């Protein structure tokens, strides 16, 4: 408990630093706008701002990125309620109840419940995240090169098996990422390799440029093909804050959503979308008025919004504690830390507790800003969501070009981001996991270095390498997760085939 109180108090102490408030204010405002624009989301928002984090220290960089995540999770409920279009997939179920209330003229009730649920879910999930993270720090003393290799392998397999619809395609994407990460200097012998005689490749591809291309630029290209209709927009609506007693029925679903959101968010690949859907379903099952869900239930809004906000904290548990990103946006957070020379995993918690404090401080400060400004920003964001999407995408691409060039002043990095953006777009289109490829690029150097160093410790005896207790556990977990992913994929395909066959059987019966 001593470490818990130390990390919480350290995070609280950061609120006395004016610099933290500056970056958090910018991050929260940016996150709310990004969340309110359908199709943007946390991953793209992170990708656009990633180059800026390299000009900051690790602590303000973490605070900035997490304040963006908090802002996105709140901002995505605004278009869901007011125009019936979710800002991100996590707010999909908010549309069912929130937009229904809006059309009834109860916009203030819907936005008020979303506002309170987001704040409470975020505040309660922060100490839950730290409580879950502290025990993982004890693993730092037993993790040598073989264990770190097993952990890196587990991280890649987790993303492959949990985020891709096709596990084989996910593995191909991961191999592609590892291949890209191997270009450049050998981490053991420091000799150029796979540069194909091109001088600019002797040091390899810039990791940040590749990640920005795969995750952010590809999403921009995909968003350019989307069309959103704003026919349901209502100019005149009431935004009166509900009376305190109105929130009494939401207490239970908020608490349920917070706990489930933190727990589900801690599962790599599950993300806030799964957390919100599970919380909504459980709230409906345990509600005294389940018939209202989908027809204007404030309990449904409360469960959904508290869960997706709590998932922000949950995703940090595997990301900071094990070096396994909890979502696509956490891949970018991990990238930012790795590029700044910080080692992901249990050692991070032990050697750089300031990063955990930065996470706590960033989310606390961002939540405080939501308390102060969130209600008033809701109506203002209605103007943002109707901005011409062509303008938004053009500006975003311009920011990517400028930001990527600013990393090291090389035009080659800009070309790298755009080329991998095209590659990522087609990977998304044909079902290959860009998250798996991105994570593999980030972990490629450590993956290879720990494999080769670990084998060298045992004179290249593979059995001694894999039979170390912790290494064996991690390798078996990776294998189990891969098998479960394949079984889940087959089960999903079987259900789809059964659903397709049902209409045919019905027509035959007729």
* Percentage of the chain modeled with pLDDT above 90: 2
Query: Which one-letter DSSP state was computed for residue 295?
Result: S
Instruction: Calculate Rg over the CA atoms of the chain.
Output: 23
- Segment 244-253 shows an average pLDDT of 85
Average pLDDT over residues 71-94: 77
Question: In angstroms, rounded to a whole number, what is the distance separating the alpha carbons of residues 283 and 475?
Answer: 37
Q: Which residue has the higher pLDDT, 208 or 163?
A: 208
Q: What's this model's pTM, rounded to 2 decimal places?
A: 0.72
Q: What's the chain's average pLDDT?
A: 79
pLDDT, average across residues 408-416: 84
Query: Which pLDDT value is given to residue 419?
Result: 92
Among 136-145, 148-157, 348-357, 466-475, the minimum mean pLDDT is found in 136-145
pLDDT confidence band for 420 (50 / 70 / 90)? very high
**Residue holding tokens 């919480």?**
8
Among 132-136, 223-227, 360-364, which stretch is predicted with the lowest mean pLDDT?
223-227
State how far the Cα of 36 lies from the Cα of 481, in Å rounded to an integer. Answer: 35
What are the two backbone dihedrals, phi and then psi, of residue 192, each rounded to the nearest 5 degrees? -60, 145
In the predicted structure, residue 230 carries a pLDDT above the cut 60: no
CA angle 265, 271, 274 (to 5 degrees): 95
250 pLDDT above the threshold of 80: yes
Give which of 37, 26, 13, 42 is closest to 319, Cα–Cα.
42
With cut-offs at 50, 70 and 90, classify the pLDDT of residue 227.
Answer: low
Tell me how far apart the alpha carbons of residues 369 and 373 are, in angstroms, rounded to a whole number.
6
User: Going by C-beta distance under 8 Å and a sequence separation of 6 or more, which residues neighbour residue 84?
Assistant: 95, 99, 102, 232
DSSP annotation string for 400-434: HHHHHHHHHS-HHHHHHHHHHHHHHHHHHHTT--H
Which pLDDT does position 232 carry in this prediction? 47
- State pLDDT tens for residues 169-226: 888 888 898 888 888 888 777 788 887 777 888 888 887 788 888 877 887 787 776 6
pLDDT band at 384 (very low <50, low <70, confident <90, very high): low
């Amino acid at each position: 408990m001593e470490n818990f109180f130390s990390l919480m108090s350290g995070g609280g102490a950061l609120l006395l630093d004016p610099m933290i408030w500056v970056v958090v204010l910018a991050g929260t405002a940016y996150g709310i706008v990004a969340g309110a624009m359908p199709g943007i989301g946390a991953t793209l928002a992170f990708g656009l701002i990633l180059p800026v984090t390299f000009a900051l220290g690790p602590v303000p960089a973490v605070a900035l990125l997490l304040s963006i995540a908090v802002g996105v999770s709140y901002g995505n409920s605004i278009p869901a309620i007011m125009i019936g279009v979710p800002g991100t997939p996590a707010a999909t179920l908010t549309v069912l109840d929130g937009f229904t209330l809006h059309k009834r003229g109860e916009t203030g009730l819907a936005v008020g419940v979303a506002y309170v649920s987001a704040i409470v879910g975020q505040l309660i999930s922060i100490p839950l995240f730290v409580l879950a993270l502290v025990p993982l720090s004890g693993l730092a003393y037993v993790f040598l090169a073989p264990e770190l290799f097993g952990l890196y392998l587990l991280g890649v397999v987790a993303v492959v098996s949990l985020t891709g619809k096709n596990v084989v395609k996910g593995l191909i994407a991961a191999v592609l990422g590892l291949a890209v990460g191997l270009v450049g200097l050998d981490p053991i012998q420091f000799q150029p390799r796979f540069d194909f005689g091109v001088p600019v490749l002797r040091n390899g591809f810039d990791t940040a440029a590749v990640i920005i291309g795969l995750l952010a630029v590809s999403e921009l290209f995909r968003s350019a093909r989307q069309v959103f209709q704003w026919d349901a927009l209502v100019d005149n609506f009431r935004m009166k804050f509900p009376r305190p007693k109105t929130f009494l029925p939401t207490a239970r679903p908020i608490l349920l959503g917070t706990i489930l959101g933190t727990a589900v968010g801690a599962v790599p690949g599950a993300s806030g979308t799964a957390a919100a859907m599970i919380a909504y379903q459980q709230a409906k099952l345990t509600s005294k008025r389940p018939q209202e869900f989908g027809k204007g239930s404030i309990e449904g809004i409360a469960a959904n919004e508290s869960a997706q906000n709590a998932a922000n904290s949950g995703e940090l548990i595997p990301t900071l504690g094990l070096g396994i990103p909890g979502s696509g946006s956490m891949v970018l957070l991990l990238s930012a830390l790795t590029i700044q020379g910080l080692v992901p995993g249990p050692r991070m918690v032990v050697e750089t507790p300031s990063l955990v404090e930065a996470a706590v401080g960033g989310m606390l400060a961002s939540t405080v800003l939501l308390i102060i400004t969130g209600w008033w920003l809701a109506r203002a964001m209605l103007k943002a969501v109707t901005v011409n999407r062509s303008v938004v995408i053009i500006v975003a691409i311009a920011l990517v070009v400028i930001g990527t060039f600013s990393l090291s002043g090389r035009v080659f990095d800009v070309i790298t981001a755009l080329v991998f953006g095209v590659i990522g777009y087609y990977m998304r289109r044909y079902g290959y996991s860009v998250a798996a490829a991105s994570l593999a690029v980030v972990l490629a150097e450590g993956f290879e270095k720990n494999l080769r160093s670990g084998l060298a410790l045992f004179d290249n005896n593979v059995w001694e390498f894999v039979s170390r207790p912790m290494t064996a556990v991690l390798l078996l977990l990776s294998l189990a997760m891969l098998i479960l992913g394949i079984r889940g994929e087959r089960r999903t395909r079987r259900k789809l085939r059964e659903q397709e066959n049902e209409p045919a059987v019905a027509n035959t019966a007729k």
